[in-house]
Amino acid sequence: MEVKKKRKRILKKTLIIIFSILIILVLIIILFASLITKYLVEKYDYKYTGREITMDWAYTNPFTGYVYFSNLKIYEQKSLLTGHPGDSVFLSASSVSLDFAMLKLFSKTYEISEITLTHPRGIVIQDKEDFNFNDLIDKFSSKEDSGKTTEPVHFNILNIKIIDGEFCYREKQIPINYFIKNVNIESNGMRWDVDTIATNFSFLSGTGSGDMTGVFTMNIKTLDYRLAVIAHKFDLKIIDQYLREIINYGNFSAILEAKLKATGNFKDAENINIKGMLAITDFHFGKNKYDDYAAFDKLALSIIELCPKNHKYIFDSVSLNRPYLKYERYDYLDNLQNIFGVKGSNVAAVNTDPAKFNLIIEIGYYIKALAMNFFHSDYKINRLAINNGELQFNDYSISEKFAIDLNSISVLADSIDENHKRVNIILKSGINPYGYLAVTLSINPKDSGDYDMQYNLQKLPLAMFNPYTITYTSFPLDRGTMEFNGAWHVRNGIIQSVNHLVVIDPRVTKRKRNKDTKWIPMPLIMSFIREPGNVIDYEIPITGNLKNPKFHLRNVLMDLLSNIFVKTPTILYKINVKNIETEIEKSLTVKWQMRNSTLRPSQEIFIEKMADFLVKNPTAFIEVCPQQYVTKEKEYILFFEAKKKYFLLTNNKNAKYFTEADSEKVDKMSVKDSFFVLYLNKLTKGSMLNTIQEKCARLVSPAIINAKFEQLNQERARTFILSFKEKGVEKQVKIYNGTNVIPYNGFSFYKILYKGEFPESIIKAYKQMNELDDESPRNKYKKDRKKIGAKL
């Protein structure tokens, strides 16, 4: 019994020793295998990869095929020659693990059943057409057949995982520096006998907000692919970096939102089928982040099917919310050419260099390829809408700034379908400072040369165009309202149209003498083109074809001849109308010339009459509401003060000895004077200032402008109240603080309100004007005058 127990103890002890030896042997083999692996990788890395490879330690289990590298770093090609390998890491990872299928080695199949990279960081560098991984592609690409017949060797790489990675892309020529972070990728990998690779991915934008997730599947032989992607508030800052290659200056920002499914083929750009939603939000492009040239809140496309190859463009909706566009003209070029070069020369320069890749241009080409056959395809847009748009135009190339603003623009179209006979589109817009525009369009979706259009431009003040009339005629306008409407019928590109221009009560005011203004005798011209009812009313038919339209001016010429002969017997009528209009206008307003506080003789006489009226009617009083055209008044002050500084400098004169004669010379000096402009350019050299206004503002501080404007308003108030003080009725006059407006007549003015008694002369003038309005020369436009009667 004891012998048996003793034998069992010996056997047990022997087994323990054997197992211990085996375990120790396995550990020794693993240890040596791990050390050998690290040694071999770091010794022969350059020979087989052309790269330096380092790691902290390695673990290799030759029995299971598991390999683990800690803190792996693969350096750029020839990095050892630079002496700074730490500054040129191509790919690094906190850990890399591989699981080899050892048993499959006997069947000539090399299979990595799983590969995982934890916290990898990779850098892709592009220099023209060269990438920093080209050497690896050349190194591991298949060599030409040597003629020897060998058994095929199969390779499988399965279950690829990238956990919390970061990848950077750098382009040296532009340059571009962009990265994505928190990259997570899972793929079923690639088998030698399967052509399709499927991958799940997700990552965050490295340079801004947003994330992107999706599934990507590709056939590596045919290059067919499937993609399902969701982008959430993804920052498109990378576009800004490419944009800098084709612009001289500027700022760009936008956010991408998308939920798309697409199938296609990488060999053929048109072979793509897209479904889903695509939106760009918070789009801004301009001089800087505070001055936009183009912007919109949201551009959204809801795509049912977009397949250029099959000629299908089916959208559920296309909407654009709050679009904004500003176009400005300067003495030299405009805001767009300043940014993109003369006639887009910057873009052309990039296009002509085949070695350069620019993402913006490539996107443009791709969109062009997708949209090429739109009107020759099966297309449909269930709803097209533009909401709350704004279009600004500023012209600084003339003697003073001209500005017009189309605001609250809306465009609405019913279903745009190539199977419909007609598509109806309605455009409406307000006009700042005054006016309204409406356009209705009915177009044949199969033929852009087949449409009907009606347009109506209303309540546009002529005084708004004073910057042009002053520059090209020397005469501003202080009265008049324009309306322009018409109807076009176009079939097969052949036009039949009627266009009707009506200008109600136009009036030319005192000539402005300045060296940068041309002279045209506007009062004489106005006497010919105005009809007896003090209107300009012309119909201008347009016929011909869209490429070569013909303007029929017979009606205009006949009206001109008629005015010459018909006006003579109506001269007394016209003079009577003008006198009564003047009487009414003087009773309700006192107009001020720009940067001027003196009254004309006729205005002085009228104010004395008002004072006499208050003397006779002690219970009556008047309220005066200054309507100040602040923007234009300050522009005139700015120009004068800047020219004054130039005048004092060039004439070596002290400001204390600046006389009235000097002031008149400065006033007549052109802001476009070549020597004055040269003076401004010298003082503002190196600054991105395009307009005379901006350059003068650098020369004259806002504090001076504000003080001069306040002084001007005080002088006007003193001048106005003087006659009332002389007759002791100033207490019956109340002058309110000024209101900042854009006056309909183009000039600052005092609005006069009567409280209590009303002057009999004004009542009489109103009665006479009503009678004159009922007579034939003016009766036709009575309704039009009522519509604009409140505008002064």
Given a cut of 90, whether residue 511 has pLDDT beyond it is no
What is the distance between the alpha carbons of residues 379 and 372, in angstroms, rounded to a whole number?
A: 12
What is the distance between the alpha carbons of residues 187 and 577, in angstroms, rounded to a whole number?
A: 87
pLDDT attached to residue 138: 78
What is the distance between the alpha carbons of residues 272 and 334, in angstroms, rounded to a whole number?
A: 39
Among 112-116, 282-286, 642-646, 766-770, whose mean pLDDT is lowest? 766-770
pLDDT attached to residue 784: 58
Do 709 and 634 meet the contact criterion of CB atoms below 8 Å apart?
A: yes
DSSP reduced 3-state for 622 = strand
What is the distance between the alpha carbons of residues 395 and 335, in angstroms, rounded to a whole number?
A: 11
The region, left, alpha or beta by phi > 0 then psi within -120 to 50, assigned to residue 172 is: alpha
pLDDT attached to residue 606: 81
31-46 residue pLDDT tens: 676 787 888 888 888 8
Q: What's the start-to-end Cα distance of the chain, in Å?
A: 131
Given a cut of 80, whether residue 331 has pLDDT beyond it is yes
pLDDT attached to residue 15: 66
pLDDT attached to residue 448: 77
pLDDT attached to residue 767: 47
Among 306-320, 470-484, 537-551, 584-598, whose mean pLDDT is lowest? 584-598
Mean pLDDT for the stretch of residues 113-138: 86
Specify the pTM: 0.82
Given a cut of 90, whether residue 17 has pLDDT beyond it is no
- DSSP at 334: B
Q: SS3 sequence, 353-402? A: CCCCCCHHHHHHHHHHHHHCCHHHCEEEEEEEEEEEEEEEEEECCCCCCE
The region, left, alpha or beta by phi > 0 then psi within -120 to 50, assigned to residue 691 is: beta
Of 341, 367, 366, nearest to 248 by C-alpha is 341
Give the pLDDT band (50/70/90) at residue 22.
low
Given a cut of 80, whether residue 780 has pLDDT beyond it is no
DSSP reduced 3-state for 24 = helix
Given a cut of 70, whether residue 127 has pLDDT beyond it is yes
pLDDT attached to residue 108: 73
Give the pLDDT band (50/70/90) at residue 203.
very high
Q: Where are the domains of the chain?
A: 1-136+154-191, 207-395, 572-787
Q: Which residue has the higher pLDDT, 140 or 163?
A: 163
Give the pLDDT band (50/70/90) at residue 481.
confident
Given a cut of 80, whether residue 486 has pLDDT beyond it is yes
CB burial readout 47-78, b (16+ within 10 A) else e:
eebebbbbbeebbbbbeebbbbbbebbbbbbe
What is the distance between the alpha carbons of residues 769 and 629, in angstroms, rounded to a whole number?
A: 29
Given a cut of 60, whether residue 144 has pLDDT beyond it is no
**In 522-599, where does DSSP find H-type helix?**
522-529, 554-566, 571-588
Given a cut of 70, whether residue 502 has pLDDT beyond it is yes
pLDDT attached to residue 191: 83
Residues in a beta bridge with 181: 204
Considering 101-115, 209-223, 514-528, 554-568, the range whose residues carry the highest mean pLDDT is 209-223
Mean residue pLDDT of the chain comes to: 83
Q: Half-sphere exposure of 529 toward its Cβ, with a 13 Å CA cutoff?
A: 18
pLDDT attached to residue 332: 86
pLDDT attached to residue 118: 95
Of 249, 211, 50, nearest to 132 by C-alpha is 50
pLDDT attached to residue 365: 80
Strands (E) across 172-210 are located at 176-190, 196-205
Q: Which residue has the higher pLDDT, 506 or 602?
A: 506
Output the six-digit token pair for 276. Answer: 């889903």
pLDDT attached to residue 23: 67
Q: What percent of the chain has pLDDT over 90?
A: 36
What is the distance between the alpha carbons of residues 551 and 208, in angstroms, rounded to a whole number?
A: 55
Given a cut of 90, whether residue 533 has pLDDT beyond it is no
Give the pLDDT band (50/70/90) at residue 578.
low
Among 10-24, 201-215, 503-517, 702-716, whose mean pLDDT is lowest? 10-24
Given a cut of 80, whether residue 315 has pLDDT beyond it is yes
36-79 residue pLDDT tens: 788 888 888 888 888 888 999 888 888 788 889 999 999 888 64
Q: Which residue has the higher pLDDT, 667 or 757?
A: 667
Residue 255 CB neighbour total at 10 angstroms: 21
What is the distance between the alpha carbons of residues 698 and 701, in angstroms, rounded to a whole number?
A: 7
Q: Which residue has the higher pLDDT, 201 or 1?
A: 201
623-681 residue pLDDT tens: 889 999 999 999 999 999 999 999 999 999 888 889 989 998 998 898 988 899 999 99
409-456 residue pLDDT tens: 999 988 888 778 888 999 999 999 899 999 999 988 878 788 999 999
378-421 residue pLDDT tens: 888 889 999 999 999 999 998 889 999 999 999 998 888 877 88
Q: What percent of the chain has pLDDT over 70?
A: 83
CB burial readout 143-181, b (16+ within 10 A) else e:
eeeeeeeeeeeeebbbebebbebbbebbbeebebebbbb
Give the pLDDT band (50/70/90) at residue 10.
low
Q: Which residue has the higher pLDDT, 220 or 26?
A: 220
Mean pLDDT for the stretch of residues 701-726: 93
- DSSP at 106: G
Given a cut of 70, whether residue 694 has pLDDT beyond it is yes
Mean pLDDT for the stretch of residues 289-299: 93
